[in-house]
Structure 1
């Protein structure tokens, strides 16, 4: 290991030893082929049928589709156009119908691939120490974090009990010496409402049974309206407490474009000198602004270089980016710095 890489490894290990909260962004799921916002936007245009809606609703949908076709990203389009509740329901259903089969396919692949989830290996390594609880915060709907835990036989909690038809419970309802808490601030593919208020969690459903509605929050304005309701309200409250108490964060594929997560993260890193590691395929402009313009004093950020086997490292300990001829930008590659 050359001198620069050794210093980077020491910094990564130091931050790791402060028991970071893990933040999973959409990039963590994209690595497994799950559709991102661009593919979702195309899917919505192609599949959402508004022919039964009233003329005003159809007009708002046409305006929304025009924005997407003009290259406006999905989140921005949903901020510009407030869709009627009936169309919003159809958007939620179409989102679930796109992502759920992809999620289940990854689960099926994991049954024959023990090394499919580097996250599971990382969690197992964490829990082999004196640490008894690990917190993961994510805006992703998929269940990859849950699958990673189960791959390594790790007890995990998402706000619900165990079984075929699960209900909401507090996290200490079931005692475990080692536990991973997964705070899903925008919902999950296995959360549903029955009627208007009852909430259930049904694992690995291949279709939506009559009378159920997926509990996932769409981007845009609706995201901020719905997260004041349960179960989002309690989950966000718990995740806020976790973020405020932490001294270190490990961000995997997180673009720093979600206000439910990043506001407290920014405050802790800028005002309390908390440590942050960001590993991703490519740093977003929001991530760069946070790291390089936001008074963050302790950071390590790594993105892919020109090839999969090269990395660009930005560190609060270096005056300029460092090029490394190996993969330390993916989670599996990053773990080589820790172990």
Structure 2
């Protein structure tokens, strides 16, 4: 497919139209990678070095088989092809969480000391703030979305309530953002703090089990965290608390959406795809920003005119963007619209 000419001003106007009522934002690992957290390739390298130190016997033999598959097809595909045992999976979860948490601490320190403003913080300031909260669905384990929300002056509703061993209680979590209750005639009216409702169907670095129940604790504990690694086992684990409730709320938000903003997500997760891809295919307006479009994402952009997809490209001799708009391929030199920071500067803060 040869790139077609692009009316850039008309394209910017169309991009701005995407930010209206009913927007649900989907955040994948690409956004965290842009902030300095490891992606799947770096995680695979880390696991290849660390897991042999943590396992023995049958698990060591199984890991040797998995390591060969990871080299051949990548981490996610390998874990789908050959799911680990429960004990090997525990080692993978623990090592993955520690590796990501260490990188997260470095990014958070920069935010805390004012050296960095997260891209998502800038974005949230431009999104409409419905009274029910801004729905954000993320497959990431890190807490950058939560931090970005608070840095933008918003609340971060994670469905948990409490600072120490916070309990999963979505009603109390929502009510904790109520700022005023008034009676107008016979009608009770409530006013809530503007907030993001952050739904994490794959878990979070601050989720743990305590006395058989899921809890949220912001610090680092030397006990297993509740995260789901890629692979077939995630389907078994995804139906346990708190993953099940976050997944149900995420799918409900996707089903009600009138438009999607999808950032750094590869369309390779069946937990979400059951709802997300059919909604896009049905005509829901969709804007996709990513470093590199997956084959699934390209197929959606080529088949459905309601999808605008933007990825990195070398245009001529400079870095720019490749765009699918109205099922037509375009190239934009010198403008990295695929990067959320540049997108905000060019489209939302021109």
Verify same fold: TM over 0.5.
yes
- 1:177, distance to aligned residue in structure 2 (A): 3.2
- What is the rounded CA distance, in whole Å, between the counterparts of 1:22 and 1:314 in structure 2? 19
Give 1:213's aligned residue: 224
- Of the candidates 310, 334, 342, which is equivalent to residue 333 of structure 1? 342
- 1:51, distance to aligned residue in structure 2 (A): 7.0
Give 1:64's aligned residue: 66
- What is the rounded CA distance, in whole Å, between the counterparts of 1:332 and 1:51 in structure 2? 39
Q: Does 1:257 align with 2:259?
A: no
Give 1:143's aligned residue: 143
TM-score, reference length from structure 1: 0.89
- What is the rounded CA distance, in whole Å, between the counterparts of 2:256 and 2:210 in structure 1? 35
- What is the rounded CA distance, in whole Å, between the counterparts of 1:51 and 1:164 in structure 2? 30
- What is the rounded CA distance, in whole Å, between the counterparts of 2:39 and 2:54 in structure 1? 26
- 1:91, distance to aligned residue in structure 2 (A): 0.9
- Of the candidates 178, 182, 189, which is equivalent to residue 205 of structure 2? 189
- 1:142, distance to aligned residue in structure 2 (A): 0.6
Give 2:329's aligned residue: 320
- Of the candidates 213, 217, 224, which is equivalent to residue 202 of structure 1? 217
Question: Could you report, residue by residue, the CA deviation over 1:140-190 in whole angstroms, capped at 9, with x for unpaired residues?
Answer: 101110111121221011121141331111142312331100101100011
- 1:327, distance to aligned residue in structure 2 (A): 2.5
Q: Does 1:116 align with 2:126?
A: no
- 1:263, distance to aligned residue in structure 2 (A): 2.8
Question: Could you report, residue by residue, the CA deviation over 1:213-250 in whole angstroms, capped at 9, with x for unpaired residues?
Answer: 21000110111110010000010000010000001000
SS of 1:180's partner is: strand
Question: Could you report, residue by residue, the CA deviation over 1:274-323 in whole angstroms, capped at 9, with x for unpaired residues?
Answer: 10000111212221022213xx231211112227852222111x733142
SS of 1:306's partner is: strand
- What is the rounded CA distance, in whole Å, between the counterparts of 2:319 and 2:276 in structure 1? 30
Give me the CA root mean square deviation: 2.2
Aligned residues of 2:301 and 2:324 also touching (Cα < 8 A): no
- Of the candidates 287, 301, 306, which is equivalent to residue 309 of structure 2? 301
Question: Could you report, residue by residue, the CA deviation over 1:64-118 in whole angstroms, capped at 9, with x for unpaired residues?
Answer: 122223x221112112223221111111110111110111111100023375212
Q: Does 1:17 align with 2:20?
A: yes
Give 1:97's aligned residue: 98
SS of 1:290's partner is: helix
- What is the rounded CA distance, in whole Å, between the counterparts of 1:46 and 1:242 in structure 2? 39
Aligned residues of 2:228 and 2:238 also touching (Cα < 8 A): yes
Question: Could you report, residue by residue, the CA deviation over 1:317-336 in whole angstroms, capped at 9, with x for unpaired residues?
Answer: x7331424322221122122
- What is the rounded CA distance, in whole Å, between the counterparts of 1:45 and 1:114 in structure 2? 33
- Of the candidates 270, 276, 282, which is equivalent to residue 286 of structure 2? 276
Aligned residues of 1:269 and 1:275 also touching (Cα < 8 A): yes
- What is the rounded CA distance, in whole Å, between the counterparts of 1:160 and 1:113 in structure 2? 27
- 1:43, distance to aligned residue in structure 2 (A): 1.4
SS of 2:328's partner is: coil
Change beyond 3 A, Cα 1:319–1:292: closer
SS of 2:175's partner is: coil
Aligned residues: 326
- What is the rounded CA distance, in whole Å, between the counterparts of 1:329 and 1:311 in structure 2? 6
- What is the rounded CA distance, in whole Å, between the counterparts of 2:332 and 2:126 in structure 1? 27
Give 2:186's aligned residue: none
Q: Which runs of 5+ in 2 are unaligned?
A: 179-191
- 1:49, distance to aligned residue in structure 2 (A): 4.1
Aligned residues of 1:250 and 1:276 also touching (Cα < 8 A): yes
With 93-102 and 44-53 compared, the bigger mean Cα shift is at 44-53
- What is the rounded CA distance, in whole Å, between the counterparts of 1:24 and 1:187 in structure 2? 14
- What is the rounded CA distance, in whole Å, between the counterparts of 2:53 and 2:312 in structure 1? 41
Aligned residues of 1:9 and 1:338 also touching (Cα < 8 A): no
Change beyond 3 A, Cα 1:42–1:85: same
Q: Which runs of 5+ in 1 are unaligned?
A: none
Q: Does 1:238 align with 2:254?
A: no
Aligned residues of 1:146 and 1:156 also touching (Cα < 8 A): yes
